Amino acid sequence: MLVAALVAPALAQDARRAYVVEDDAIRESLTGKPGDAERGRAIVGNRQVGLCLLCHAGPFPEERFQGNLAPDLSGAGSRWSEGQLRLRIVDAASLNPATIMPPYYRTEGLDRVARSFAEKPIFSAEQIEDVIAYLRTLRD
């Protein structure tokens, strides 16, 4: 079993929480509590915040333009456990180095990040947990 501990450096603006990767999952909530599915849906549907629908389609009949670069989010909650979803959002490249899925909670090892985003993860820990809570509701 692969067990890797990552201790995030202390950051002034968005202190990232430490997490533990086991197999292909992060089992523990980054905030220590479950997220809110309704807030998660709003994040996923927002092109400026979640960016998700640029690449993924999903059950958002009110959103006219959805991407097709990545799998449809419908059924994501059946395909993946909560912990598997968490690692895929936090740092999908740790599972597939060639992925186009951005690292939503990793800031190390990135190149030429714009100054306004430097040292900041795309999502906060709370946003990640909210998105996971929403994706878990998407069952086939």
Partner 1 sequence: MNRRLGALLLLMATQASAEIPEAERRSGYHDMGASVQAMQDDDMANPAMLWVLDGEKLWAQRQGAAGRSCADCHGEPSRMTGVAVRYPAFSESASRPISLDQRINQCRTEQQKAPAFDYESRELLSLSALVAMQSREHKIAPPDDPRLRTFLEAGAATFNRRQGQLNLSCAQCHEDNRGKRLAGATIPQAHPTGYPIYRLEWQSLGSLQRRLRNCLIGMRAEPYAYGAPDYVALELYLMKRAAGMPFEAPGVRP
Find the binder of partner 1 among 25, 30, 44, 53 (CB under 8 A): 53
CA distance 31 to 33: 5
Those residues with Cβ within 8 angstroms of residue 28's Cβ, 6 or more apart along the chain or in another chain = 19, 20
Find the binder of partner 1 among 24, 31, 102, 126 (CB under 8 A): 102
Task: Note whether 6 binds partner 1 by CB under 8 A.
Answer: no
Find the binder of partner 1 among 7, 15, 113, 139 (CB under 8 A): 113
Task: Note whether 62 binds partner 1 by CB under 8 A.
Answer: no
Tokens 């640029």 correspond to 54
Task: Note whether 93 binds partner 1 by CB under 8 A.
Answer: yes
Count of residues that interact with partner 1, criterion CB under 8 A = 24
CA distance 79 to 139: 8
Find the binder of partner 1 among 32, 33, 61, 111 (CB under 8 A): 111
Measure CA 116 to chain center: 20
